[in-house]
Amino acid sequence: MSRQEFQRIEGKVAVVTGASRGLGLRICEAFIREGGKVALISRSAGPLQSAAAELGPAAKAFVTDISDPAAVRRSMRAIVEHFGSVDVLVNNAALGHLQRVEEADDALLQLEVNTNLLGPIYCIRSAIPLMRARGGGDIVNITSESVRLPYPFLTVYAAAKSAIETLSVGLRAELRGENIRVSVLRSGRLAESGFNRDWPEERRAEYRAIVQKEGYYALSGEPISPEITAQAIVDLVCLPRAARVDLLELRAS
């Protein structure tokens, strides 16, 4: 297979959720390096605006709470008005609250499920007709190794990520023949992440003690650089349209 058969990112528009920091920001950087344009989505207005400014004119921030379907619709319309199209959607946004299921706070539980499961669905729902109008596209759903090994107090997070993998299987059937690929990147531990930034210190200490005692980190292996993960997503999108990747599990060697 010649290199010419691979797709080019140049000129394509990627929508990346959870884009203000960590892996999401690295994904945006990787797309822009290849000549793409990026719509950054996050709830965090300040960090998101700063990230977009650092990335330059190929990037624009769209402050969005993806758990709000009306907000997702507004942002997708604004993205099309600004960039003209959507070619790639990377569902990267995620949050997890350290809670036992029997003790789960109603508001935190709803926020977790809405962000990790409904949010990607809302984004996918809005992106599909835009990709269809372009003659095809790529949806990349980021999940976690926790679908196979749920970490302590993060059972609901793991369940939502498992649901995203099942959703991806169903979407492939729904979109068959539409030239819209649906891929899952199942990530191991990342060397850079804001996932745990809001965890209460007392519960964080309890979590760490259990994880270390029961060998979760040993099973996960060393953290992987988010730059490597981000480049893997770009490479996945660049595959010839005759190929697709259903599931890529990526971790440090």
Cα–Cα distances (Å) from 201 to 12, 22, 104, 156, in that order, read 42, 21, 17, 20
- Whole-angstrom Cα distance, residue 33 to residue 153? 38
How do residues 196-214 score in pLDDT, each as one tens digit?
A: 777 888 888 898 899 889 9
Which residues have a catalytic role annotated?
157
What's the confidence (pLDDT) of residue 3? 52
Cβ count near 100 (within 10 Å): 11
Assess whether pLDDT exceeds 60 at residue 25.
Answer: yes
Architecture of domain 3-250: 3-Layer(aba) Sandwich (3.40)
> Region 181-185: what's the mean pLDDT?
98
Please write the tens of the pLDDT for every residue from 86-120.
999 999 999 999 999 999 999 999 999 999 999 99
Residue whose pair of structure tokens reads 């990790």 in the numeric block: 116
Q: Are 114 and 152 in contact (CB under 8 A)?
A: no
- What are the backbone dihedrals phi and psi of residue 162, each rounded to the nearest 5 degrees, phi first? -65, -40
Q: Give the domain ranges of the chain.
A: 3-250
CA angle 48, 53, 59 (to 5 degrees): 80
123 Cβ contact partners less than 8 Å away, ≥ 6 residues apart: 15, 17, 41, 66, 72, 76, 89, 91
SS3 at position 174: helix
Q: How confident is the model at residue 1 (pLDDT cuts 50, 70, 90)?
A: very low
